[in-house]
Amino acid sequence: MPFSDYTKALVTGASGGIGAAIVERFRREGLEVHAVARSREPLEALAARTNCVPHVIDVTDTAALAELAAKVPFDILVNNAGVDTPRKLLDAREADIDLLVDVNLRAVLHLCRLIVPGMAARDRGHVINVSSIAGNYNFGGNSTYHATKAAVAMLSNQLRLDTFGRRVRVTEICPGRVATDIFAHVHGDTPEVRARFIDGFELPEAADIAEAVAFAVAAPRAMNIGHMEITPTLQVMGGLQTARPGDPRT
């Protein structure tokens, strides 16, 4: 089902970064794009720039999402909204766990519950779950984030089973490090943070991830691209680390 088979898309986390880039890319294809985010000013700026339909909604507000889903028969759902508060589970706080589960997982489940049945009934639709390499690989200090992203990976697989026999395609996009403001949101907008995560690295841009999403959507009708792992060329996962007894890092 190429772009011409679809008319209406919903993109969450659309006020900046990858979400805004996907909105811009979809609008270039002529889709009616409904952009959801909490931040009014950047969302309104995006709407002025792209003529998307803005919705100032927190994805944890299930009632507001249900109201929107009941009004618009979406052909494409992009679950992009996400948060992180990096902590080992040994140091985890109740509020952080609740926030990550609510935004990264519960909202995704509810949006799929609200929108995918309509796709199945119309025999047409595409779910894009923008997840993370954290759903497949481990790195220190992000226990709850890893858990939520791994759940989204399993949900992406399960949706294909739940809609078996219908032309509902499901794609999980798993970015590695991307040059967006996510690191500033998580760690603080400081020169030290930029030096640690952005400056001097060769990184994909948000627009590059949007092009990967467009590639999956534009694939031939008989083809489902289920999983895309997108990292910088110079980034790899894994590595062998051995701690000594009593090492304070453990």
Concerning whether 145 is annotated as a catalytic residue, the answer is yes
Number of domains in the chain: 1
Asked, for residue 99, whether it belongs to a domain, the answer is yes
Q: What is the pLDDT of residues 120-170, one digit of tens each?
A: 999 999 999 999 999 999 887 789 999 999 999 999 999 999 999 999 999
Asked, for residue 236, whether it belongs to a domain, the answer is no
Q: In the structure encoding, which two tokens stand for residue 76, read together?
A: 């494409």
Asked, for residue 244, whether it belongs to a domain, the answer is no
What pLDDT is attached to residue 2? 77
Helices marked H in the chain: 17-28, 40-50, 62-71, 94-100, 107-122, 143-162, 182-187, 191-197, 206-217
Taking the model in full, what pTM does it have?
0.91
pLDDT grade, residue 76 (50/70/90)? very high
Q: Is 28 helix (H, G, I), strand (E, B) or coil?
A: helix
| Catalytic site residue from 3, 6, 145, 183 | 145
Choose between 224 and 182: higher pLDDT. 224
pLDDT grade, residue 239 (50/70/90)? low
Asked, for residue 238, whether it belongs to a domain, the answer is no
Give residue 210's domain range: 3-230
pLDDT grade, residue 1 (50/70/90)? low
Exposure string for 51-65, b = 16+ CB within 10 A, e = fewer: ebbbbebebbebeeb
Q: Is 244 helix (H, G, I), strand (E, B) or coil?
A: coil
Q: In the structure encoding, which two tokens stand for residue 114, read together?
A: 């609200």
Q: What is the pLDDT of residues 89-120, one digit of tens each?
A: 999 999 999 999 999 999 999 999 999 999 99
What pLDDT is attached to residue 139? 82
Asked, for residue 114, whether it belongs to a domain, the answer is yes
Asked, for residue 197, whether it belongs to a domain, the answer is yes
Asked, for residue 80, whether it belongs to a domain, the answer is yes
CATH number reported for the structural domain that contains residue 24 in this entry = 3.40.50.720
